[in-house]
Structure 1
Amino acid sequence: MLKLLFAGTPDVAVPSLKAFAADPRFDVKAVLTRPDAPTGRGRRLTPSPVKAAALELGIPVIDAKPRDPGFLDTLAGLDVDIAAVIAYGNILPKAVLDAVPLGWYNLHFSNLPAWRGAAPVQRSIWAGDRTTGADVFKVGEGLDDGPVIATMSVDLTGRETSGELLDRLAVEGAPMYVDALASVGEGTAVFTPQPEGEFEYAHKITVDDARIDLTQPVEAIDRQIRACTPAPGAWCELYPEGKPAAGETVAEADEHARPLTLHVLAARPADLTNPNAPQALAPGELKAGKRNVWVGTGTDPLELLQVKAQGKKAMRAADWARGARLAPAARLD
């Protein structure tokens, strides 16, 4: 039985933790995760999803950081053979990597070397990839560039959000992750070096990145919205009464003309076979019907399906448009 240390933090790591805990080939000695963090309006200290799962499973939890004094002593006291790390959130120094005899292994949600980095699923969707997957690789000092010992691929439908795809890969990748680390312990793992070369890096998506540019083609905007859902959330500015006149600042305009933030939670390219759908709208121009809301882009219109207006709850776009009482000149920017 392999003695294992599991390092992870968010929900996406929980299926793998549960898979290791349930497998008789492993003894999960401890879970390494971030300290409890303030969340919500009350800023109450809340455990990470991985810590909550570990406590339910009766597994000891360590929330010290790998560079903290005494961490290596704590690690040595666990006497583990191998370590699994998935979406942990802290860099592992060389001394920590070297302290585990069989090494540390990461479940990464792309087919390496494509989309190394923090947001592989989001960037894959945004780029319009037709396939993606998950790889298990040995962690070294480089960035997601260690040898791969297991891989799986999935076809994309072109309608997934990043949240949906992450959940799918987390569940489907967990059994592969467990089997891959078991093969390391058995001495049967095959270590395949990653190809050399320059590859696009999966940078984390910021709130600024998530602002929708409605002059872009509708297909690109659709991919952006799905890539940014649920986090950080695609958004734009709503001018309920229309944009201020040329040369007039927002501060000088009537307060009703000042923009509000509108988060777009779900959308799709307009079905132009729908007789009610507009065949063309200027970028940012809105058209609301009884059951549909469309906005113009750089190409065909985009149908808004679900939105969250500033200070409001998430709702169907048609319901929002009726309640917002948009002026004919209302637009998004």
Structure 2
Amino acid sequence: MRLAFLGTPEFSVVVLRALVDAGHEIVCAYSQPPAPRGRGHELKPSPVHAFAESQGIAVRTPSSMRDPSEIEAFAALQADAAVVVAFGQILPGAVLEAPRLGSYNLHASLLPRWRGAAPIQRAIMAGDEQTGVEVMRMTEGLDEGPVLSTATLRIGPLDTAGSLHDRLAAAAADLIVRTLPSIEDGSAVARPQAEEGVTYAKKIRSKEARIDWARPGREIDLKVRGLSPFPGAWFTLPSDKGPVRVKALLSAFEDVDGAPGVALDDRLLIGTGAGAVRLLRVQREGKGPQDAEVFLRGAAVPSGTRLD
């Protein structure tokens, strides 16, 4: 098929690569404009932009797909269909309907649960036991279109947003490759989303990342894993030079009692408002991620230490 592809982050690259490998013709890849990255704040292309160029695929990076010139250029591609994966812009109806067979979004949740910007993180933070990815025919409403196909995944007790992201990306790539033939031959069945059970996955805000040890331990564990690796739930650890910020990247709930924010042993078991949280992987400010046992070799946290 002649496909237009719209996506920006690494999640999208996994899908684009699968479409290329399956033999589809990508007539153009759209992505968000280059943005400042790294310590030097140099303008760098998005993951999709970089991958598409490496494959010889034409790339466009419009600041707005509502620009009349961009709508005209998109229609001129004469694509059979558009595949949209975490593009980062709301697409107008004129863009959605330009491809001959319509535009299709891969969304990382079981709709109508977790419509919106951060479905992977919010599913973990809410304690969901399963999630998935769905191929949806796009409408102008936010993730409201009918669903054509679904892949369901279990959320494990040690899953993080990072690990779940990778599994969902692989599932998304497989799902769209299997679904496109039925879109092409007209056999695909689009089922409307349920009207009940709608939830919205709000964008993650930095103020959410600080750990409040007075909250229940199960809630803290879900926050740690849902915000890992980025932005990373964090706390401060006392040191001779003052408080040091530490990100918690992996944890596990333990059903033991202890004062909130106090180390209950010498291996990063921290008391909470209900139960305790075992920190399994952390990242000290200015350092790389470390397993707890490695971290503790250079920064002992003895029983009784009070965290902020």
What TM-score comes out, normalization by structure 1 length?
Answer: 0.86
Alignment of 1:119-138 (within 5 A): 119-138=118-137
Is the 1:240–1:327 Cα contact (8 Å) retained in structure 2? no
Shift of residue 288, structure 1, vs aligned partner: 5.0
Distance in structure 2 (CA, Å) of the matches to 1:122 and 1:144 = 17
Distance 1:179 1:33, change over 3 A: same
**2:268 aligns to what?**
293
Structure 1 position 156 matched with structure 2 position 155: yes
Is the 2:12–2:85 Cα contact (8 Å) retained in structure 1? yes
**1:265 aligns to what?**
249
Structure with the greater alpha carbon radius of gyration:
1
C-alpha deviations, 1:285-322, integer Å up to 9, x for none?
A: 12453xx2221111222222222223334333344445
Structure 1 position 35 matched with structure 2 position 33: yes
Q: After superposing the two structures, state which structure 1 stretch, 64-73 or 203-212, moved more.
A: 64-73
Distance in structure 2 (CA, Å) of the matches to 1:232 and 1:225 = 10
C-alpha deviations, 1:14-63, integer Å up to 9, x for none?
A: 12111111223x32111001111110001122111111111122111111
C-alpha deviations, 1:251-292, integer Å up to 9, x for none?
A: xxxxx5x5332211222224x7xxxxxx53210012453xx2
**RMSD between superposed Cα atoms in Å:** 2.0
> Which amino acid is 2:249 matched to?
L
> Which amino acid is 1:115 matched to?
W
Distance in structure 1 (CA, Å) of the matches to 2:184 and 2:291 = 51
- Across the two proteins, how many residue pairs are aligned to each other? 307
Secondary structure of the 1:303 match is: strand
Shift of residue 69, structure 1, vs aligned partner: 4.4
Q: Which runs of 5+ in 2 are unaligned?
A: none
Is the 2:6–2:87 Cα contact (8 Å) retained in structure 1? yes
C-alpha deviations, 1:195-247, integer Å up to 9, x for none?
A: 11352211122111122121122222111111001111111233447xxxxxx
> Which amino acid is 1:79 matched to?
Q
Q: After superposing the two structures, state which structure 1 stretch, 280-289 or 120-129, moved more.
A: 280-289
Shift of residue 118, structure 1, vs aligned partner: 0.9
Alignment of 1:194-233 (within 5 A): 194-197=193-196, 199-233=198-232
**1:302 aligns to what?**
277
Is the 2:112–2:197 Cα contact (8 Å) retained in structure 1? no
Q: Out of 58, 61, 81, which is 1:60 matched to? A: 58
Is the 2:264–2:304 Cα contact (8 Å) retained in structure 1? no
**2:3 aligns to what?**
4
Q: Which runs of 5+ in 1 are unaligned?
A: 242-255, 273-278
Secondary structure of the 1:78 match is: coil
